[in-house]
Amino acid sequence: MLRKATTTDADVVVFDLEDAVAPARKSEAREAVASVLGEVADADCEVCVRVNSGAEAAGDLDVVLDGDALPDSVMLPKVADAGSVEALADTLAEHDAERPVLALVETARGVLNAAEIAAAEATDALVFGAEDLAADLGATRTTEGTEVLHAREHVRLAASAADVDAIDTLFTDFEDSEGLAEDAAFSRTLGFEGKLAIHPSQVPVINEAFTPDPERVEWAERVVAARDEAARDDRGVFQVDGEMIDAPLLAQADRILERARAAGIR
């Protein structure tokens, strides 16, 4: 399953040493991940390892970083503050294996400290975890997700303020493709750059949701072309399709084209 995961068209594959592993099998899991890292070194996707939180992370890294092949990034669960990220970064440095950290924000304390977590030097992205957060809050998970919406938006705001990516929470029912598509589309409207998948079947649904619609790409191309023309004519104001274009719309057009290029449709 670890080997197959890198062929799913996901941008990042996360080998999990935390929740997916029974406590009695942690050592076995570490060895398995360390072994497979060498076999997937040439994968088209980024390969990440999710370590355990707290002191256990050092034990994970002692094994995982002992081989010739290293993960591209490390995911840290239940991040409570910037110090947790910094401690992981120090451990990676001790192994001469500095790597970007994907900070999983999934506790009440982590959400409240999301801004400082995002601003930590090693943080490359904030990842929102709704399931553990709901458990921490004693909240009941609903299809609408209103019980975690404030936290979801707060994590996105913190990531944007620190100029790091924000990855949205998973959709647990992997047999409900329609529900996933709706949830992923909502993630995109909130500004998230991506979304966690819990099953290979979810990858194409999420990729489609985050790929800009053709008409939006065409609009963005018209905006960029009009901007370039206005710059040549030394004009600061211009319009596209009868709409005055300002800085926020220019940023939106650039973002759409960036995603289109990442999706290979431009």
Beta strand pairing call for 243-245 and 238-240: antiparallel
Cα–Cα distance measured from residue 155 to residue 162, given in angstroms and rounded to the nearest whole number: 11
Cβ atoms within 10 Å of 149's Cβ, excluding its own? 13
Q: Which two tokens stand for residue 230?
A: 């206005």
Is 241 in the active site? no
- The one catalytic residue in 19, 44, 228, 246 is 246
127/56 Cα distance (integer angstroms): 20
For the chain, the first-to-last Cα distance in angstroms comes to: 32
Residue pair 248/215 in contact (Cβ under 8 Å)? The answer is no
Q: State whether residue 241 is helix, strand or coil.
A: coil
Q: Which residue is associated with the tokens 């990442």? A: 262
> What is the C-alpha separation between 253 and 250, in angstroms, rounded?
5
- Judge whether 159 and 110 are in contact, CB under 8 Å: no
Q: Where in the sequence numbering do the catalytic residues fall?
A: 246
